[in-house]
Amino acid sequence: MTEEPNNTNTEIPAAVSSPSVEALEKKLAEEQSRAESYLAKWQRAQADFQNYQKRADRERAETADSAKNSVLLALLPVVDDFELAVKLMPAEISTSEWANGIRMIERKLKGFLESYGVTAIETSGRPFDPKYHEAVMKADGEEGMIIRELRKGYMIRDTVLRPSLVVVGSGQKSEGARKEHRQADRETATNNKERLTGANKKEEHNG
């Protein structure tokens, strides 16, 4: 029996070459660097968006405060008029229902302002401060001190809503004060003269 030739290839195929460890590590490092870059960009974008939100919220709050302050400022002349009406009210009608109604409206207006943190600026006996007061003229009186308030000023919390209009002392004494000062000087001089005369007479008597 004739044997068939064996055509089977008994050679072992060359092994497929695999990537080296160095190449894998390099590839991994590149991917990590890319991932870190994406993360950094995302974090910057998130921070920018948060800053935008804060800025937008602040601008909205400032716009709302500005609109509110404008309304409150527009109400102040109305309060001035009611205060003046109450101050100049004739005695014969001061107890009438109409007068009581005027006072009630004045109280409600002031209560409304107070509910928004509006308070009057103090001027009586205070030194002039350009942060809170506006000087419209000077008059005889202690220098730098407020002599008279012409229009009441108001604060809204820590912010000046409307400065007070005031008269400031010039450092000059009024004519009446000067006369009183001269009279006091004369009285002092007379008293000193009388004491000196009395002392001289006592010395003569003792001598």
**pLDDT tens, position by position, 46-74:** 888 888 888 888 888 888 888 999 999 99
Does any domain span residue 188?
Answer: no
Q: How many domains does the chain have?
A: 1
According to the model, what pLDDT value does residue 14 have?
A: 45
Domain membership flag for residue 192: no
Per the confidence metrics, is the pTM higher than 0.75? no
d(CA 83, CA 87): 6
> If DSSP codes are grouped into helix, strand and coil, which group holds residue 142?
coil
Per-residue pLDDT of the chain (207 residues; tens, 9 = 90+): 555 555 555 554 544 455 688 888 888 888 888 888 888 888 888 888 888 888 888 888 888 888 999 999 999 999 999 999 999 999 999 899 999 999 999 999 999 999 999 999 999 889 999 999 999 999 999 999 999 999 999 999 889 999 999 999 988 875 555 555 556 666 666 665 666 565 555 555 555
Are 169 and 126 in contact by the 8 Å Cβ rule? The answer is no
**pLDDT value at residue 110:** 94
Quick check: is 57 in a domain?
Answer: yes
- Give domain status of residue 32, yes or no: yes
Tell me if residue 17 falls in helix, strand or coil. coil
Domain containing 41 equals 26-116
CA distances from 45 to 32, 34, 35, 39, 58 (A): 20, 17, 15, 10, 20
